[in-house]
Amino acid sequence: MAALKREVVRAEESEVYDVELSEDLLKANQRLAEENKRFLHENGVRAIDIMGAIGSGKTSLIEKLVQLLKTRYKIAVFKGDLTTTIDAELIARHGVETIAINTGKECHLDANLVKKALQRLDLNSIDLLFIENVGNLICPAEFPLGSDKRMVVVSVTEGPYMVVKHPFIFMEADVVAINKVDLAKAMGVDVERLEKDVKTINPKTMVVATNCRNGEGVDHVAKALRL
């Protein structure tokens, strides 16, 4: 009988439990990013996170930066993509250590993936790390990776409104490269106007016009990144 009685006992209103949590899920990534940053600094490595839309020229810019800087720095590159190692192989041709990070389905790199990739790298043998994010102008803004500087690449072929339509990623950027300026005329896009848009949104960012086909402006990007 006693057992039966126990079975019909129901939780009452007073047994409702209110738990205060205040757990921030995006902050968990920020904490990991801070760890990455500390780890990189302890090993004397500077890291640059490169963000931008699909096809904006992130990989081409990294290739040009690697060519320009590889005699002065020992460089490694993390190349984020959903799948394939096509771009990673393009960069590896220049003789720098390149690790492809395939996110599977995720539209951005996060601090945890970078942490995992860092474990596969001999940090004593490098002093500069480029981290190419997944092609996307939205999500990467929300996920710091632990880099010293964040750069956004935007190209004139994306049209004249790309900057004003994505203000928040430009607020995160220390340096912005406006790429494919050789095509500006054909596209009917005003490079100065794009530059003004970036400066309106984020007055402290540095803007550089580039053409990664012939390398124009790449030295200015390096300077803006203080490399």
| Nearer to another protein among residue 167 and residue 215 (C-beta) | 167
How many residues bind to another protein according to rule CB under 8 A?
A: 34
Give the footprint of another protein on residues 26-55 (CB under 8 A): 26-27
Q: Is 203 in the site for another protein (CB under 8 A)?
A: yes
Query: Contact between 136 and another protein (CB under 8 A)?
Result: yes
Q: Is the Cβ–Cβ distance between 134 and 108 less than 8 Å? A: yes
Question: Interface with another protein includes 164 (CB under 8 A)?
Answer: yes
Interface residue with another protein, options 1, 8, 9, 21 (CB under 8 A): 21
| CB contact set of 111 (below 8 Å; sequence gap of 6+) | 29, 30, 32, 33, 35, 36, 143, 144, 145, 146
Measured from the CB atom, the residue of 2 and 16 that comes closer to another protein is 16
CA distance 222 to 227: 5
**Considering the rule CB under 8 A, would residue 139 count as an interface residue with another protein?**
yes
CB of 117 to another protein, least distance (A): 19
Amino acid at position 33, single letter: A
DSSP assignment of 83-136, as one string?
A: S-SHHHHHHHTTTSEEEEEE-TT-SS--HHHHHHHHTTS-GGG-SEEEEEPPSB
Select the residue interacting with another protein from 3, 7, 8, 18 (CB under 8 A).
Answer: 18
Q: Is 204 in the site for another protein (CB under 8 A)?
A: yes
How far apart CA 223 and CA 75 sit, in angstroms, is 16
Q: Could you tell me which stretch among 23-31, 44-52, 176-184, 219-227 binds another protein (CB under 8 A)? A: 23-31
Cα 66 → chain centroid: 17
Residues with Cβ within 8 Å of 214's Cβ and at least 6 positions away in sequence, in order, are 182
Q: How far is the CB of 22 from another protein (least distance, A)?
A: 6
Structure tokens at 144: 């710091």
Binding of residue 22 to another protein (CB under 8 A): yes
List residues near another protein by CB under 8 A.
11, 15-27, 106-108, 136, 138-139, 141-142, 161, 164, 167-168, 171, 193, 197, 200-204
